[in-house]
Structure 1
Amino acid sequence: MQWRQDDPVERLRRVTAAQSRLQAEAASAALLARLRWRLAQELKRFATRMASLPRLLLSFALLLSLPGPAAAPATAAVARLHPAVAHLAAEAPAQRVAVIVQKATVSRQAEAHVAQLGGTVTADLPIIHAFAAELPARAARRLAQNPAVRWVSPDGPIVGAGQRGGPRASRAIEPQNYFLDTLGVRRVWDLGLRGAGLAVAVIDSGIANDPDFTFAADDPHTRLRASVSWAGSSGPSTDAFGHGTHVAGIIGGNGRASNGRYAGLAPQADLISLQIGDKTGLARESDVVAALQWVYDNRQAFNIRVVNLSLNSTVEQSYHTSPLDAAVEVLWFNGVVVVVSAGNKGPAGGFNTVDAAPANDPFVITVGASDEKGTADWSDDVPAAFSTHGRTSDGYAKPELLAPGANIISVLSDQSAWAAEHPDRAVLGGEYFRLSGTSMAAPMVAGAVALLLQDEPHLTPDQVKYRLLATARPMSDEDAGAVYLDVFAAVNGTTTESANAGRPISRLLLGGSAPVAWTSADWNAVNWNAVNWNSTYWGP
């Protein structure tokens, strides 16, 4: 594989080579000692919690959560191998494992080595100079010894959100949305801005071809410009799960089936469906990276200016060691605004979603959810109780922005079983469906970005992020650590300052063949169900 002349990673490597000194700083002996102590303490608590589970599950989980690199020889192979994969190789060498391999050279030596080790290359991921593969766990350590390999990490599956908790009781009156007024969207529409002329890519479970995604009530032509699937389907993208269609409706539904009542923010924006999940939501992290690669390759052909990712990894780690974070940064640095969900709070002792990819990346816009309290008056809105917030292991406060995410009504895929399973949430005979979660908040911001970029197409992602934050409203709950989206104020703002100044890019995008230094990962959270749509909230 030859790198293209406009390759973004090579360009970033040249520009940011000086930042490689950060690796030496992050690897200081004092920092590693503190991390190892923290890891040991967390593992003790983890073993206690897991003691009541079936023996098979316990042994499998422990394979992925044994002490980190401190217990292994300080070799180049260990430094190039994600600790979870290294310990699986030690404890279950015959277990086949799915990995993402970042290359250190332009040759195909690493791919050839995979074949020699009894493995198979499953996907090419040039956006981060990587590929996905499956091979015996014992072979992963040998692969990491190859000088053509820079980093080997687990390629965990993506799992659809479970139906947690009981559904809310049905309401006696027809439910309605408030966010178009809460955020000042109708006032933006009055300025003639509805997202026309640009596309928003939705990397999710697919988008159903619904009447709400047509141009207008009297124009049946669809705004669903492209549908691509990594879910094993040979045909166009559909959505048997329902999550992606709901997200897309918030971004760009026109409310055709409801006379405009349940329209999204940018009802004239084009939509791109990049399906990475089947009817249960199952996929892999490499599918997400492959979808991001597709966006990079086709961003100019479709004028893709925004990507929405309403999904979260369950592995807490530095953004410097995540292939998914590296991929979203490549898009960001090439003019595509990336909007991601912060994730929802799990049970006590669960992982912190804002410390996992892609919510933990400091460049992208990470979105938490607000509760509008059943009114269009933003002053009574509060951070939703389920919305996660906190600091990443690299010290960044997340989310940066809040948007409505409680009881949001949007388009329901006609292939989804949700209406039958939760009839009290179905609206207008199943044309629409009511959901809560940061999955619903992120597309609010993606739709807002589409309106802003229609008005000011020259803005860079960093300028868009700064504008949204500079014009946002304060929230009453300062502990939420974020400000509240104001679409009308953002569109009428004038600042062209840039966010993210001075923030180091992912080390996976830096030059050289030096191994990646792992820092503060919480291996209690490591499992092979590594990414999920937990940003959909099914509780009351």
Structure 2
Amino acid sequence: MRSGGSRRKVRSSALWGSGKRETGSRSNALWGNGKRRTAVLTTLALSLIVPLGAAAGPSQKTDRAEAFVAPGLLSAAQASAGKTFSVIVQGKGGNQAAHAVADALGLSLKSARTFSSIDGVAVDLTGAQILALAADKHVAAITADARVRLAAATTSNDKWPFVTGVFKYWASGATPAAPAATIAVVDSGIDASRPEFAGRIVANVNLSTLPGNSPGDGRGHGTFVAGIAAGDYAGHTGTAPSAKIVSLDVMDDQGMARTSDVIAAADWILANKAKYDIRVANFSLHSSVANSFMYDPLDKAVERLWLNNVVVVAAAGNYGSPTGPSGVPYAPGNDPFVITVGASDTGRSVSTNDDVSAPWSAYGYTLDGFAKPEIAAPGRYMVGPVPVTSTLYAERPDHVVEPGYMELSGTSFAAPIASGVAALILGRHPEFTPDQVKGALMVGTKQMPNAADLSEGVGEINAARSVEAQSPPNPNLALDAFLVSDPGTGTRSFDAASWASKAKADASWADASWSAASWAAASWSSASWASASWSDASWASASWASNAEASASWAEMSLGSASWADNAGGETPVLDAGAIDAAELAAVLAGTLDP
């Protein structure tokens, strides 16, 4: 039980450090500890004090900056005033970002990219221009436009549909597949010629601004993701085979995207959600730059979708370690509103009793103290469709299990299972809000007794329990208290400043989310998750975050890097590791074995 009195004198937080405030002692993921503290404090102090001129010397005038500038970007801009950086400038509402860029710098907006989901502009600026713009009172934040990385009767030879229970919603005999909402897949595109999607891809949009992006799906990743979410083909059926699909191609043939391209996809979904009845958006990708959700433009874009009745599902990432928590610092999986999905290894049977967290599946706390992921789904040794002309197919021939199908691993392939189940929930309950869908997914999970604490959130997804949930609790209830409405448009947004002030003063602010009696229906303890869902102390000394913030080169490296790498990508394929045993399949279908 938390004690309110002592908390106000001694704090230990993902944002504000630990120790007595009076002494200024800091020890946490943002501030670091020990000798690292000085470097981090210096870097963060520079994010608040920005010279107006390029490479200002000691005698030149400096003013207090109005805007937040990502520390690594700030250091790079100060060191290289004439170098060009791709950035996203965020304003304070009302299209102020565009006006600030145009007025303060005299730049034509023809060379910039504006958005509707955020007050922001993607533009190339020199280091000197970044420093000058940071002092503009209309600018809220300047962050890197960083690269984004990838994470008849219906049948399946794969184990995961039976572990998760999604097979119960497939067509059987004269019974059609259960209805499901439309899913938008923000990825590398989808090969619409594949039989898995016959007639169900209702829109195919290319939003990638990077060179080297082939029509359809040149990478192959998006087709695989869509196959897991909603494919319909004998032997390899997806989660929700009746769902319509919208393909939003934001990646080049190497599996890379710019943050602004992904935000543009969120814009497109927002503008077209009514036309295509889009209720779920899958993001099997993550940014390459660690950031607070309060400042990251991609986080703000997916929050806008969430608050406009679109369920957002994000992959946790494949940068985890079997030795302990990695943290989840990258957008959009670091956003507390959205559903972040970790990957499980289904073991040797369909029972969750032998399931464990995949060794590379990221988990832990975000830079703002939120535990991620919330749920897990199978993501190891998955089999799915991949175009034979794609770069993924060519790069990993040892992963090809049959023509046009590959065995791959990653949280990228766990997320679409959650997206498919979310679509099934909305097919049954179209009146549910995104908060209720998230609650249904969480309350329906089954525990994994062999998984490390927090590695799989509250447990592994169970479709039947989630789809049948009638009055799911709201896991975002405490966050919803900080929603504000624009008096002119009625548009809702999250007041991050008010949240930060409240969280700083009261460590029990998040408890409201877990007070609902309906959590009692869960197989896990809502009381235990309540104490872990937001932490002001548990990862205070984590070195991964302080290392990232202390390094002045991390942002510049991510801006210039086009490499795609993850811990799951190099995993050796295991023949039939994800296949279901024939005897188990017969028992599951007969109803004598319940996973």
With the length of structure 1 as denominator, give the TM-score of the two structures: 0.78
**Are the equivalent residues in 1 in contact too, given 2:89–2:121 (CA < 8 A)?**
yes
Matched, 1:84 2:65: no
1:459-474 to structure 2, matched below 5 A, reads 459-474=432-447
Give the CA deviation at 1:372. 1.1
Q: Which moved more, 1:193-202 or 1:447-456?
A: 193-202
Q: Which moved more, 1:318-327 or 1:197-206?
A: 197-206
Query: Considering only aligned residues, what root-mean-square deviation do their CA atoms show, in Å?
Result: 3.8
Structure 1 partner of 2:137: 147
Give the CA deviation at 1:490. 1.1
1:407 to 377, 381, 384: 381
1:129-528 to structure 2, matched below 5 A, reads 129-159=119-149, 176-189=157-170, 194=177, 196=179, 198-215=181-198, 221-232=199-210, 237-255=215-233, 260-345=234-319, 352=326, 354-429=328-403, 431-476=404-449, 477-479=451-453, 480-482=455-457, 483-503=459-479, 509=493, 522-523=548-549, 524=551, 526-528=555-557
Q: Would the alpha carbon gap of residues 206 and 113 (structure 1) be closer, same or farther in structure 2, given more than 3 Å must change?
A: same
Structure 1 partner of 2:533: none
2-side partners of 1:317 and 1:43: how far apart? Answer: 22
**Are the equivalent residues in 2 in contact too, given 1:195–1:269 (CA < 8 A)?**
no
2-side partners of 1:498 and 1:474: how far apart? Answer: 20
1:67 to 43, 57, 73: 43
Give the CA deviation at 1:502. 1.2
2-side partners of 1:481 and 1:388: how far apart? Answer: 9
2-side partners of 1:30 and 1:46: how far apart? Answer: 18
Query: How much identity, in percent, do the aligned residues show?
Result: 31
Q: Which moved more, 1:114-123 or 1:284-293?
A: 114-123
Q: Would the alpha carbon gap of residues 177 and 86 (structure 1) be closer, same or farther in structure 2, given more than 3 Å must change?
A: same
Give the CA deviation at 1:469. 0.8
1:120-135 to structure 2, matched below 5 A, reads 121-135=111-125
Paired AA for residue 438 in structure 1:
T
1:29-40 to structure 2, matched below 5 A, reads 34=26, 39=31
Give the CA deviation at 1:427. 2.4
Please give the per-residue CA displacement for 1:127-153, whole angstroms capped at 9, x wherever unaligned.
111111101111111112222222111
Q: Would the alpha carbon gap of residues 76 and 305 (structure 1) be closer, same or farther in structure 2, given more than 3 Å must change?
A: farther
1-side partners of 2:325 and 2:38: how far apart? Answer: 12
Q: Would the alpha carbon gap of residues 304 and 328 (structure 1) be closer, same or farther in structure 2, given more than 3 Å must change?
A: same
Please give the per-residue CA displacement for 1:79-135, whole angstroms capped at 9, x wherever unaligned.
432222222221111110111111225354223136526997431122111111101
**Are the equivalent residues in 1 in contact too, given 2:213–2:253 (CA < 8 A)?**
no
**Are the equivalent residues in 2 in contact too, given 1:353–1:359 (CA < 8 A)?**
no
2-side partners of 1:342 and 1:300: how far apart? Answer: 28
Give the CA deviation at 1:243. 0.9
- Match of 2:331, SS? coil
**Are the equivalent residues in 2 in contact too, given 1:128–1:509 (CA < 8 A)?**
no
Please give the per-residue CA displacement for 1:416-455, whole angstroms capped at 9, x wherever unaligned.
13333322311222x1111001111001100111111111
- Match of 2:65, SS? helix
Q: Would the alpha carbon gap of residues 33 and 314 (structure 1) be closer, same or farther in structure 2, given more than 3 Å must change?
A: farther
Please give the per-residue CA displacement for 1:59-85, whole angstroms capped at 9, x wherever unaligned.
xxxxx9972225863854264322222
2:89 to 101, 110, 119: 101
Q: Which moved more, 1:78-87 or 1:34-43?
A: 34-43
**Are the equivalent residues in 1 in contact too, given 2:90–2:120 (CA < 8 A)?**
yes
Report how many residues are paired: 475
Paired AA for residue 529 in structure 1:
S
- In structure 2, stretches of 5+ residues that fail to align are 1-13, 51-62, 485-491, 505-544, 573-595
1-side partners of 2:213 and 2:344: how far apart? Answer: 37
Q: Which moved more, 1:520-529 or 1:289-298?
A: 520-529
Paired AA for residue 184 in structure 2:
A
Paired AA for residue 251 in structure 2:
G
- Match of 1:463, SS? helix
Q: Would the alpha carbon gap of residues 249 and 407 (structure 1) be closer, same or farther in structure 2, given more than 3 Å must change?
A: same
Give the CA deviation at 1:45. 11
Give the CA deviation at 1:224. 4.3
- In structure 1, stretches of 5+ residues that fail to align are 1-24, 48-63, 162-174, 216-220
Structure 2 partner of 1:14: none
Which structure carries more relative contact order (alpha carbon 8 Å, separation 6+)?
Answer: 1
2-side partners of 1:42 and 1:386: how far apart? Answer: 29
1-side partners of 2:244 and 2:414: how far apart? Answer: 19
- Match of 1:248, SS? helix
